[in-house]
Amino acid sequence: MKILVIGGSRFSGKIAVELLSEQGHDVTVLNRGKAEGEVGVPFLKSEKYSYPTKVKVIHVDRTNYVELQAKLDGNDFQAIIDTCAYNEKDIQIIMDLASDKLENYIFTSTGSVYDEENIEIIPVVEDDPFGSEADDCSIQYSRDKRRAESLLKKAFAENNFPFTAIRPTYIYGPNNYIYREAYFYDRIMDGKPLYMPGTGEYVIDFVFAEDVAKLLIAPLEVKKAIGQAYNAAGQGGITLNNYSKFLFRIIGKETEIIHYDSQPVIDAELKPENRNQMFPFEHDAHFVLSKEKAVIDFGYKPKKLFDGLKETFEWYKAHRNPEWRGDYGFDDKIVELLKKQSN
């Protein structure tokens, strides 16, 4: 099959390109080329990435309609896997330029499209209500993904545009350029406390990057996936306290977990100096996605969380920037503020 992967140089998209190439597909990657150079995050070694031998690469800014049209002129891709469309404009350009031969457009959405503030039953299923698409929605990323999916649903209903949406929960795994599991690894290895907002007892879900990649390519072989959405969920829900205990076992070292009320921090508008100081997960609501639909339609079998975290830790040890030092300065600010609040 002739397949275009938009993005495809990082994390799950990178794995999807490798899997498609291994399966013998004719793969083209389209992106700006910026993520193919040295890794641009401070906690990882600078390592260049190269695509599998037969993969073709197009470098273009997808938001530039004229340039994108020139690059895709005459294309006859049978499938498009889009790992980095964030809003309606990104989607509309692709719909305008898609070939008549297109059999499936696979959109990487997000689990945050759901109405998280009003979830009453977990796990969340694909038919559960979306959150707000209004201009004043507090989280623009979630709002824009909702709008993008709504546009795709409309295009499918009115013009049979062949889309499938994949909605991941928190993605983890090797090559994660977002400081999430590494936030925990560093603190435990450095003997620093885990300052955890809230009780740590809310249940959330994590999905392995390779499992997301497999779900991105699974609809290519399943016709009933057209016009459908699928959650990309992990083994199941886990509390952040038990998540931390998993990591203690994997690393062979424990550290203190210090729970605190985050509201005084919010009220004081106390913010970290950089994102890598910020606690990386939601902490005040249960959020677990159902994987049942993907299991039934694709035979989906997610990796066990403990095994995935162990694999990720081994990868992180090998690829951690030796000059990287965790920045724990925000901890002191939290402690100082809470002391003032208690006086």
- DSSP character string of 163-231: EEEEEE-EEESTT--SSSHHHHHHHHHTT--EEEES-S-SEEEEEEHHHHHHHHHGGGG-GGGTTEEEE
Of 209, 177, 169, the C-alpha closest to 15 is 209
Return the percent helix, strand and coil in the chain, to nearest 5. Answer: 40, 20, 40
pLDDT of the residue at 47: 80
Of 45, 26, 34, the C-alpha closest to 10 is 34
pLDDT of the residue at 109: 98
Three-state secondary structure call for residue 275: helix
**130: CB partners within 8 A, 6+ apart:** 113, 114, 115, 146, 149, 150
Q: What pLDDT tens digit does each residue of the chain (343 aa) get?
A: 999 999 988 899 999 999 999 999 999 999 988 655 555 789 999 887 789 999 999 999 999 999 999 998 888 999 999 999 999 999 999 999 999 999 999 999 999 999 988 888 999 999 999 999 999 998 999 999 999 999 999 999 999 999 999 999 999 999 999 999 999 999 999 999 999 999 999 999 999 999 999 999 999 999 999 999 999 999 999 999 999 999 999 999 999 999 999 999 999 999 999 989 999 999 988 999 999 999 999 999 999 999 999 999 999 999 999 999 999 999 999 999 988 887 7
pLDDT of the residue at 143: 97
Three-state secondary structure call for residue 114: strand
Per DSSP, what are the bridge partners of residue 312? none
Maximum distance among all Cα pairs of the chain, rounded to whole angstroms: 70
- Is residue 174 within 8 Å of 209, Cβ to Cβ? yes
Residue type, 237: G
pLDDT of the residue at 270: 93
pLDDT of the residue at 36: 57
CA atoms of 108 and 117, how far apart (whole Å): 22
Domains of the chain: 2-174+206-233+287-303 (3.40.50.720)
CA atoms of 265 and 233, how far apart (whole Å): 31
CA atoms of 291 and 303, how far apart (whole Å): 12
Separation of CA 34 from chain center: 19
Sign of CA pseudo-dihedral 230, 236, 237, 241: negative
pTM of structure: 0.95
- Is residue 123 within 8 Å of 152, Cβ to Cβ? no
Of 327, 340, 244, the C-alpha closest to 283 is 244
Separation of CA 260 from chain center: 27
DSSP labels, 276-334: GGS--S--SS-B-B--HHHHHHH---PPPHHHHHHHHHHHHHHHB-TT-----HHHHHH
CA atoms of 314 and 307, how far apart (whole Å): 11
